[in-house]
Structure 1
Amino acid sequence: MAPAFVSLRKLPVAALAFLALSFGAWAEDLAIVGTGDGIEMLQAIATAYNAGGAVRVTVPPSIGSGGAVAAVGGERQKLGRVARPLTEAEKGQGLVEVPLTRIPSAFFVHGGVGVTGLTSAQVAAIFAGTTDNWSAVGGPDLKIRVVRREDTDSTLAVLRSSMGGWRDLVLTSRSKTATTTQDAIETVRQTPGAIGFGPFSPALAGDLTVLAIDGNTPRDPAYPSAVTLALIYKAATRDAAAADFLAFATSDHAKRLLEERGGAPLKP
């Protein structure tokens, strides 16, 4: 049975000061290292947690899910963030994952396209370049302008691993490569007929249309492409500070913050 911990956020200031002096590590930042997926979500949770005045939590730039596994598994960090499930070998090293939310991979189009949903097969055909006019999928007689991401992009990796027809899909050469999510959004917003993809966020709504895929919107449990954002820890090194943040990150308050930033409910 895991040891019980008293919430640091509920202790009086004097007690916190004593603990910080007695256990020097608690006076340091508690870094949550790992994937770049959902980094803004975790930064929002860290900001809300830090307002309580206990240990200061930071969310450093991405070192990838593998970097989180190496850092926490090697006992160099107490907490990590991952956008893939732990392997059985990693669990065998004592690593434990705590799922927080699903991050869907959204497809969005210029507001003038007039299409609100596509099938998985239609999306694959568009990004392969075999469908190049919106009239072929129920839209106007308008050339499709594909906005893609670089081959190392995390959302593209998610699509290749989870979206039907994408594993070996060769993206059309008649496309524009965006180097950041914001670049992709702005290019689609400014280009009639354009379609792009990126992590789902409510901020995409407005003059862009976020497409339903196979009849499911990004937040629907049956939506075909998403990653699960999770925190990881090693039972041998989880201390009171780490346990306290894990409790906060899975609280109703944190869930609301995740939903506000595009997080979708976890699958049962």
Structure 2
Amino acid sequence: MSHKGLLAVLLSVILVAPAFGETHVIAGAGTSTQVVQLFFTHFAQLPQAQGQEFIVPDISVKHGGGVKSTESNLFGRTGRPLSSEERQQGKEEILLAKAPIAFCVGSATGVRALSVKQLEKVFTGQVANWKDIGGRDAQIVVIGRERTESVLSELLQELPFFERAKFNIVFDNDNQVIEFMKSPAGQYAITFGARSSLEAAELKTIDLTGEVQPGVRLGLVYDKKNSDQPLVRAAVGYAHSEGWRKQLAAAGLQPV
């Protein structure tokens, strides 16, 4: 090989290889924070990721913020699969896990479990008092999220009656929901979220009886122009590996 040819090869390697000691911030949906933290904890130990630092902030900038963050960061984190519009923007995804969706109730409802049919009646306003489904004599307060929120987006697909849901209050983020559910005003409320997030906040989740067990698909987003970047290729490979499947099983999560 000529000196010019060798130089061209070396330059191409330098241009695509991640810089040693580089820091990567992975921002985005709050729903996927714990899954993405788990992923990068183990991904960082791979030879392909040596010398790289991965920071997954606890704070949420939502799914849309995660997509937008790839304008300056290599990865963002998602709270649902990418939409066709997001793909048209040149974005690609790495689905990491399917996390169980759970429903939680306020501390004074007296309810421990609901069937899918009872859940439908509660969220569509057919039942307005907890006593009608085995709970206390108190008005039901239904807490929801904006339609584009990741968990609600998945519920709209898996439990179609959510198209007819009637929310008494709609919050903008997980922290607002958690604070309300823990307050006196939330003692007779019901809401939904990723089970891991609700349990981490020590909220009272209920059993959902029946065959339907909804889940939210969580992952990473990156810009298509970075598809050949070594770290992106390595992340795609690890997400499909047996090692990652074992980590998911240990964490009580399902592969996608």
TM-score class normalised by the smaller sequence = 0.5 to 0.7
CA distance in 1, matches of 2:171, 2:87: 34
1:266 aligns with 2:255: yes
CA distance in 2, matches of 1:176, 1:69: 28
Residue of 21, 26, 39 corresponding to 2:18? 26
Equivalent runs, 1:187-226 vs 2, <5 Å: 187-190=180-183, 191-201=186-196, 204=199, 208-215=203-210, 222-223=212-213, 225-226=214-215
1:264 partner amino acid = L
- Return 5+ residue gaps in structure 1 as ranges: 1-17, 217-221
Residue of 233, 236, 241 corresponding to 1:243? 233
The alignment's C-alpha RMSD in Å is 4.2
Q: Is the 8 A contact 2:18 2:231 kept in 1?
A: yes
What CA deviation, in whole Å up to 9, does each residue of 1:108-153 have, x standing for no partner?
Answer: 0123323222223322322333311111112232332222334443
1:186 aligns with 2:179: yes
Q: Is the 8 A contact 1:49 1:57 kept in 2?
A: no
Question: Cα distance 1:105–1:141, how it changes in 2: closer, same or farther (>3 A)?
Answer: same
1:166 Cα deviation from its structure 2 partner? 1.0
Q: Is the 8 A contact 1:33 1:80 kept in 2?
A: yes
Identity across aligned pairs (percent)? 25
1:202 Cα deviation from its structure 2 partner? 6.5
- Return 5+ residue gaps in structure 2 as ranges: 1-9
What CA deviation, in whole Å up to 9, does each residue of 1:37-74 have, x standing for no partner?
Answer: 413321343245446743233457647369749959xx
State TM-score, norm by structure 1: 0.64
**Number of equivalenced pairs:** 234
Residue of 125, 128, 132 corresponding to 1:136? 132
Residue of 100, 105, 119 corresponding to 2:101? 105
Relative to its length, the structure with more helix (as a share) is: 2
State TM-score, norm by structure 2: 0.67
CA distance in 2, matches of 1:44, 1:117: 30
CA distance in 2, matches of 1:69, 1:179: 18
